[in-house]
Structure 1
Amino acid sequence: MTSSSNCFFLGSLVVSLLLFLGSTSTMALTKDINSTCYRYSVDNSFVHNKTFCLQTLTAYPPAVSATNMVELVKVTLDLGSTQAKERAGFVAGLEKEPTFKKYFEMCSESYATIVNNFRGARLCMEDGAAGAAGASITILETYDDTQRVKDTIGKNTDKASKKLMEMTLVMEDFVAIANAAISVIF
């Protein structure tokens, strides 16, 4: 009888310890995600949409499984790169759109630069925290390209321009998330 109660006690202790360790790592992760989403962006305002940032990172498995802040930065850069590629693909599909022809080249170049900036920043982060300065500069340059797109198509009323404007505004949120994550370690 005594041995079965000891086994039950030890088993309960192990389960409790595992649950505690799991919640501790979740708290650290939540802290990193919260730190990212509440950091200042390039223009000294908070990340464009804190709720979007929190929902995006907590629902994105690679962000949730990041083991430290450097890994979280890499995840935000990979996520931004993926989003930029999708938008570049959308722009490429507008090449033959008659109402968009005069804007195509500039928007296409801007999104190609955005994709390259995310890739370049990610490469900088291969050096860990030491690469944060280079990654920060590269991501900050991305704001210029999103602004170029907004300035060029912002007042257009055609369907393609409106859709690209929406996509560009969300792209700025991904840029701000990456910038905020980098600034946590920089």
Structure 2
Amino acid sequence: MNSTKIAVSVGAALLLQLLIARYLRFEHFDLNYLDLVLIMTVYTSFGRNPKRTIWVAAGSGLVQDSFSGGLLGTQSFTKTVIGYGASLLSEHLALDHMIPRLMVMGAAALVNGLLFIGLHALFGVRLLVQPVGEHLVHYLGWYLAANVMGAAVGFHLLDLIMEERPSRPTRLWARGYRRRRPRL
């Protein structure tokens, strides 16, 4: 994975997350459950480089916190914990196919949702109304479904973007190469 491609992809995910939160509202399904930065963090962790994943997760989480309002640092902390854990898991397990990746994404979405709500509750900010159990299950269910479905599409697109290609094709009969005719 190229660092430039990762930075551009994280920037695009942040911009798309802002556009979704601002302009896309549906009656039966709220796209605000979709967390593109979490998807990008988990995808970066599949590169088997925990240091890079921590930097991507902390930076993108802080930017997401600054745009969303609320407690500064909660998204950054949760994304960093998720990214580090997923990166360590990808070092020991082969997460090269879609099904194991989606399973890791589902676990990451659940842990991220629980950590986010738990950190807000720790600092006295209530995100869920009473009764908490019923609303927690509703929130985590939609959060899990939205992020796993988004990851199914996002991982495929990111695989196409991050694919290593040769910089220049080598051709035998390039333009500058000519065979001379023998002189008689």
* Same fold, TM-score > 0.5, yes or no: no
- Give the number of the structure with larger relative contact order, counting CA–CA contacts within 8 Å between residues 6 or more apart: 1
Bigger share in helix:
1
TM-score, reference length from structure 1 = 0.30
TM-score, reference length from structure 2 = 0.30
